[in-house]
Structure 1
Amino acid sequence: MSKADWQARAERALGARIAATHPLSGGSIAQVRALDLADGRRVVAKLGGQGLAIEGWMLEQLAGKVPVPKVLLAEPDLLLIEHIAAGDGLDDAAEIHAARLIAALHAHTRPLYGLERDTLIGGLAQPNGPLESWIEFFAQRRLLAMAEAAREEGVIDAPLLRRIERLAGRLARWIARPAAPALIHGDLWAGNVLAKKGRILGFVDPAIYYADPEIELAFATLFHTMGQAFFGEYGRHRPIAEGFFEERRDLYNLYPLLVHVRLFGGGYVGQVERSLARYGV
C-alpha cells in the first residue's frame, strides 16, 4: 500500500487533511504513525500487518468496560484510532488503577470459554471456538494450536512439540477449579498500557476472549509489567486463588512464550523448555 493510497483513505475517513506524520514505537507487527491533521487533531494510524479490522473490533468490544482509544476506521490493512497522550511508566498508583480496571473487566462473564469469532495476538491467529471446559480450551485452543503452528514454521522441533502435548494432557493436575469465563484483554504487558500521572488512560493491542482470568494475571508478570501494588489491589476486588503464583502462573505463561517463539525466534525456546521441565515433561 502506497503512502498516497493510505493517506487518501485516512483523509476521507477523518474529514481532514493530514498535515504531518510521525513514526511511533510499537510497530513490530504493523507500522504505527501519528497523524497531525490540519484541523488540529492528532490520531494514530496502523498500516499493513494483518487483521487490523479485527483489532478495531476488539477495541470496540472493550469500549465502555476499560479505557481504550476510540476507533475511527477499521479496515484489514488500515486502522485509525484516537491518539492518547500518555508515556509515563507504571508506578504504584498506576498499577493500583490498572488493577481496579482489570478486575472490573474480569467481572464480565459468559457461559463458555472462547469467543464468537477468532482473534489475533501479536498478529498471529488466535482460535476461539467456544468450549465448556477451560482445561480443554487451554489445551486445544492455546497450547496445542500455538505449538503446532510453531512446529509447522520450523521454530520448534518435534520432540519439543511432543513434550507440550504431554503437558496438555495433564493440565487437570494443576487446574482443578477454574473460574467462570471472564473477558480478558489478553496481551497485558507494559507496552499495551498507556499511563500518565498515576492513571491508566488506555489499553491497546488487545487479544480478547473469555478465559480463566488467571491467564491474564500470569501474563502481567511475564515481563514484570505488574507488581505487588497491582496484585494487592486486584486481590481486594477479586481474590486470587491459592496456588496461583506457585503452581499455575508459569503454566499459563507457556502460551505467551509460544507466541514469542513464533514472533521473535528461538531465544524464547529455552524458556519454554525450562517451564516444561518444571512440570515434569
Structure 2
Amino acid sequence: MHPGHRQRIEQACARGMARADFLPGGCVGEVWKITFDDGSHAVAKTAAGDSTLDIEAYMLRYLADHSDLPVPGVIEGAKDLLVIDYVENSSGMGPSAQEHAADLLAALHQVTAPRYGHERDTLIGPLRQPNPWTERWHDFYREQRLFYMGREALETGGIGMETYERIERLGARLAEFLPEGRPASLLHGDCWGGNVLTRGNRIAAFIDPAIYHGDAEEELAYTTLFNTFGPRFFDRYREHNPLEPGFFETRVPLYTLYSLLVHARLFGGGYGTQADTILRRYVG
C-alpha cells in the first residue's frame, strides 16, 4: 500500500494502522483489509488518482440514505481511496438467508422513481453505466443497456459484428417482449453471490452496487445467471412482489443479455457466445 494512502486512512478513521492485508478480486484498484492498533477493522480500496472510487462511495451512501438495504458504511470516499466498514461474514447461503435476501430486495424494489434511470451515471464494476432519465422502460433498456454495452463489447472484441447486428434487431422489437407501466424500482444492480455477504442465517450486507432505477425483473433475472439464489428466494420474493406471467420463460433471457455483454466487454471468452445464443432465440 502506498504510504500516502496509509496516512489518509489513519486520518479518516482516527486510528493507527497495525497492518493491511491484500484481498484479491477487486475490479477497480486494490482491496485491503485494514487492522487498526485497537484490533478493529475496515476495508480500503486504493487506486490511481484519476479513478472512480468516489462513485462507489456515492452509490453506497445513496442506498443507505434511500433504503433499508444493509450496506457497509462509508468512512472516506475519494476518487483514489474508498474506506468502508468491515462486515463480518461467513461462507454459504442457506434457505433462511435466501428468504432474508428476498425480504430485503423486495423492500428495495418498492423504493421507486417517476422515471427510469438515475440522477447521475453510475458504474457496473469498472465500467460506466449511463442513466439518463427515460419515460419508457423498453427505450431505456434498449439504448442505455443493450446498445450501449453492445458497442462497448464490440469495440473491445468481446462480441462480433453479427452479434451486434442481432442486438440492433432485438432493440427494434423489444417493446413486444417487455411490459410497460411497471415501477421504476431502485436496484442494487450487481446482485451476484460475491456481492451478497452472509452471517449465519442472515444477510450481513450487499456490497459493490451498480445502482439505478429500472424494472425489478432485470435484477431478479441477473440473480439466475450465476445461481445467486434458488427457489426459496423466489418463493419468498413473490409473497411481497408478485411476478408477472412470462418472467422466467420469456424475459429472464432478455435481461441476462445486459450482464453477458458486461462480462463480454470485461473478459471476452464465452460470454459473447452466450449472448449470441440468446439473441438467436428472439431474432434468428
TM-score by length of 2: 0.96
Distance 2:88 2:179 in 1: 43
Residue 9 of structure 1, CA deviation: 1.3
**Pairing partner for 1:177 from 162, 173, 180:** 180
Match of 2:43 in 1: 44
Partner of 1:33: 32
Q: Which residue of 1 aligns with 2:100?
A: 97
Moved more, 251-260 or 178-187: 178-187
Q: Counterparts of 1:117 and 1:191 in 2: how far apart (Å)? A: 25
What's the offset of the Cα at 1:178? 4.8
Per-residue CA deviations over 1:86-111 (Å, capped at 9, x if unaligned) read 02211111100000000000000111
| Secondary structure of 1:279's aligned partner | helix
Quote the RMSD (CA, aligned, Å). Answer: 1.2
Q: Could you tell me how far apart the structure 1 residues matched to 2:176 and 2:63 are?
A: 33
Shifted more, 232-241 versus 36-45: the winner is 36-45
The aligned residue for residue 58 of structure 1 is: 59
Amino acid at match of 1:60: R
Distance 1:30 1:278 in 2: 38
**CA displacement at 1:154 relative to structure 2:** 2.8
Task: Give the secondary structure class of the aligned counterpart of 1:266.
Answer: coil
Matched residue, 2:111: 108
Q: Do the aligned partners of residues 190 and 178 (structure 1) sit closer, same or farther apart at CA in structure 2, a change above 3 Å counting?
A: farther
Q: Following TM superposition, by how much is the alpha carbon of 1:176 offset from its aligned partner in structure 2, in angstroms?
A: 2.6
1:16 maps to 2:15: yes
Equivalent residues in 2 for 1:232-251, closer than 5 Å: 232-251=235-254
CA distance in 1, matches of 2:162, 2:8: 48
Alignment match, 1:279: 282
Deviation at residue 84 of structure 1 after TM alignment: 0.3
Could you tell me the percent identity over the aligned residues? 45
How many residue pairs match? The answer is 280
Equivalent residue number for residue 254 of structure 1: 257
CA distance in 2, matches of 1:30, 1:143: 27
Q: Is 1:7 matched with 2:6?
A: yes
Shift of 1:39: 2.4
Of 270, 273, 277, the residue aligned with 1:267 is 270
Listed one character per residue, the Cα deviations across residues 191-237 of structure 1 (whole Å, up to 9, x for unaligned) are 00010111001000000000000000000111000110100000000
For 2:242 and 2:120, the matched residues in 1 are separated by 30
CA distance in 2, matches of 1:222, 1:154: 22
Task: Show the counterpart of 2:231.
Answer: 228
Contact residue 127 and residue 141 of structure 1 kept, 8 A: yes
How far does the alpha carbon of each residue in 1:174-193 deviate from its partner, in whole angstroms, 9 at most, with x for none? Answer: 11335110001000000000
Deviation by residue 1:235-258 (Cα, 9 ceiling, x = unmatched): 000001110000000100000000
- How far apart are the structure 1 equivalents of 2:4 and 2:19? 15
**1:147 and 2:146 aligned:** no
Q: Distance in 2 between matches of 1:272 and 1:228?
A: 24
Cα deviation, residue 138, structure 1: 0.1
Indicate whether 1:137 and 2:136 are aligned: no
Residue identity matched to 1:159:
E
Separation in 2 of the partners of 1:131 and 1:177?
12
Letter in 2 for 1:52: L
Contact 2:54 2:78 in 1 (8 A): yes
Secondary structure of the 2:234 match is helix
Decide whether the 8 Å contact of 2:28 with 2:125 is kept in 1: yes
Q: Distance in 1 between matches of 2:69 and 2:99?
A: 14
Are the equivalent residues in 1 in contact too, given 2:90–2:200 (CA < 8 A)?
no
Q: Match of 2:205, as an amino acid? A: G
Q: CA offset at residue 173 of structure 1?
A: 1.4
Deviation at 1:37, TM superposition (A): 0.7
Distance 1:120 1:101 in 2: 22
Point out the more displaced range, 235-244 or 17-26: 17-26
Q: 1: distance between equivalents of 2:107 and 2:25?
A: 27
Residue 195 of structure 2: aligned partner: 192
Q: Distance in 1 between matches of 2:45 and 2:267?
A: 20
TM-score (norm. length: structure 1): 0.97
* Partner residue, 1:77: 80
In 1, Cα distance between the equivalents of 2:196 and 2:33?
Answer: 17
Gapped runs of 5+ residues in structure 2? none
